[in-house]
Amino acid sequence: MNTAFNKHIVVEIKNLNKSFNEKKVLINVNLNLNEGENLAILGKSGIGKSVLLKCISGLIYPDKGTIMVFDKDLLSLGDKELNKIRERIGYVFQNAALYDSMTIGENLLFPLERNGKGLTKIEKEELIADTLDSVGLVDVIDKMPSELSGGMRKRAGLARALISKPEIILYDEPTTGLDPVTSRDISKLIVKIQKKYKTSSIIVTHDMKCAELTSNRMLVLHDGHFIAEGAYSDLKNHNLNEVRDYFAN
């Protein structure tokens, strides 16, 4: 995929380091996310891709480095300022992370009530219905997560991330555990969201078809740092075996 996007940087990471005990996970990581861009991050399981997303969202603090989000130094913000930044970021968890005891509609209502948008009950109901419609789930508003297929739960998780109209969306392995057809549908939905809502997104994945369909640009994470950057067609013929291995199949 290759579409135009604004060159204004909305996320800028410099020399980010994160270790857990003696294990170095992220080593001097540098990353820029442009406004309106879909950036895919490739890497093997357990290599630190999700850790990077959690650092960007403020769920994990790095050992050192800087994280600028919307021109704000994330690591220097107090809780109130940090929460304001988080309200502008949608996080799509790998397992959807829906509340099992709530209906899909209630799952979407929860962040609306917490964020204090000042909407009336009717306005909230209309927003929930519109958001579910945008991901093709308008008919499941009263269903429980356990009643949905894996693909539908992924869509519901995306709808919950969208309900607060985020400017940045972080996707953590959005197609993991899905069959090829459903994976393609989710990938197409990510592109649709980018175009409709003008979002800037980071898509963590090891699904090459998802990366190809959704990304404007790709980065390859290996041994704690990025070893390659470019469009899908550029990386396919990269001189490093560690990069070409992702295209072997």
Residues 177 and 82 in one domain: yes
**pLDDT of amino acid 249:** 63
Residues 161 and 172 in one domain: no
Domain closes at, from 132, 165, 198: 165
Question: In this structure, is residue 132 part of a structural domain?
Answer: yes
Q: Dihedral through CA 10, CA 11, CA 14, CA 15, nearest 10?
A: -170
Residues 67 and 182 in one domain: yes
**pLDDT of amino acid 47:** 86
**pLDDT of amino acid 230:** 93
Average pLDDT across each block of 10 residues of the chain; the chain has 249 residues. List them in order. 71 96 94 96 89 92 95 92 91 87 94 79 92 92 94 92 93 92 93 93 93 95 94 89 83
Residues 82 and 122 in one domain: no
**pLDDT of amino acid 117:** 67
Measured CA to CA, the distance from residue 244 to residue 235 in angstroms comes to 7
Would the pTM count as exceeding 0.85? yes
**pLDDT of amino acid 200:** 97
Residues 2 and 24 in one domain: yes
Contacts of residues 79-87 at CB distance under 8 Å and 24 or more positions apart, as own/partner, are 82/58, 85/58, 86/57, 86/58, 87/115, 87/164, 87/166
**pLDDT of amino acid 44:** 86
